[in-house]
Structure 1
Amino acid sequence: MSITRRLEYSTCGSELARDSGGSANINAECIAAIASKLAPTGVVGVLRFLLFAVALLLSACTSRAPLPEKNPDLPLPLQLHIQLLKPDDRLDWVVVIQREETGIRWSMMDLLGIPQARQLLNDKTWHADGLLPPNPQARELFAALLFALTPDDELAANYPGAWQHGRQRSLPERWDVRYTQPQNFELMTANGATYQVTPLSGEAP
């Protein structure tokens, strides 16, 4: 701190000390000097924090996978084989979709039958089902599968921004689906992942 600035603080401090002894009139110049040093830093800090909080909230809202206006009428229960296609590798899961009163229960397991994720979709909200830790990748996949499995005549009402032409369906900037059959399709997501989805018959592993 410079000598001049130290003198300013010293003078201001002595003024405040004298005023606190008996006079109610605090030196206005001292108050202005203190305010001019503290206020900008405080205001800027608060504004930066608020901007950060808003950006974080908007980011969370943007990243949250879209859900239908109401649960579509699916031919449940369904068992699907999911393959995550990668250039040098492939990951496989089984997804089981079941009706649960007014909601839809989603379960994902590997080919050995070990549970990977369980979620219950009810009232446009995901709920944890069981004690498995959160699995954002699985929740995104469940939401994308729900979009892909939604019957044609329910698509527009449930996903207003979606379009379908022939054997291709898209929710722009989120998911693209190319069908071979209604439950046999290729699903591409905005983050670059591509899944091959085929129906399974018989008992899940």
Structure 2
Amino acid sequence: MLKKFMPIFAAAWLLAACTFSDGLPRPHLPQTAVSADGRWFQMTESDKAGKVVQTSLLAVAQETEGLRFVQTDALGVPKSRQILTRKGWKNDGFVMPNAASRQVFAAMLPYLVSADTLALYPDAKQMPSENGALFRYKNRDLWRVSKQGDGLKVVLPDGRSWLVIPADEEK
């Protein structure tokens, strides 16, 4: 009987082990990163050719344990729910893990908290490039970031890009 459930237990253990090891540098999270009301953003994902793939909304809220990121599609269906704690990133709820969204959230963190990127990510390297700043961690590219008006453009190593624009009422 126990042998029958052993693969299920092994899979659950592996998933639990992967919760905090996602290949992203662990940020030095400030005590309070966003206001009590939170922040809203419009996110537009484009493929490598520049064609818009999807537009979504992102809500970022300050929690006692860290920051909660909830990305939804146009109908309000969650695409990604992540919590950033002092231990790193973890999924929030039963939404499938979304590594690309997690990378974009990590890339926009310095922009979100108005902090020096190297202070937030002391283990990452920032290199200037012609299209913004390239961030590397453990000898691999993480993302490229550049300012776009009031927003931020994040380009992932696979060529997908995200334009993140504040949707807050205040400006």
Per the normalisation by structure 2, the TM-score is 0.67
> Structure 2: which amino acid aligns with 1:92?
T
Q: Which residue number in structure 2 is paired with residue 197 of structure 1? A: 164
Give distance in 1, aligned partners of 2:43 and 2:113: 17
Please tell me the root mean square deviation across aligned C-alpha atoms, in Å.
2.8
Give the ranges of 4+ consecutive aligned residues of structure 1 lying more than 4 Å apart after TM superposition: none
Q: Which structure has the bigger radius of gyration?
A: 1
List alignment gaps of at least 5 residues for structure 1.
1-60
8 Å CA contact 1:72, 1:150 repeated in 2: no
Give distance in 1, aligned partners of 2:24 and 2:158: 12
Moved more, 143-152 or 83-92: 143-152
Q: Does 1:116 align with 2:82?
A: no
SS class of match (2:25): coil
8 Å CA contact 2:81, 2:93 repeated in 1: yes
Size of the alignment, in residue pairs?
Answer: 139
Higher relative contact order (CA 8 A, sep 6+): 2
8 Å CA contact 1:82, 1:94 repeated in 2: yes
Moved more, 124-133 or 69-78: 69-78
Pairs within 5 Å for 1:32-71 = 64-71=23-30
Q: Which residue number in structure 1 is paired with residue 56 of structure 2? A: 93
Per-residue CA distance 1:94-119 (angstroms, 9 max, x = gap)? 11100001300010100111111211
List alignment gaps of at least 5 residues for structure 2.
1-20
Give distance in 2, aligned partners of 1:70 and 1:134: 21
8 Å CA contact 1:118, 1:129 repeated in 2: yes
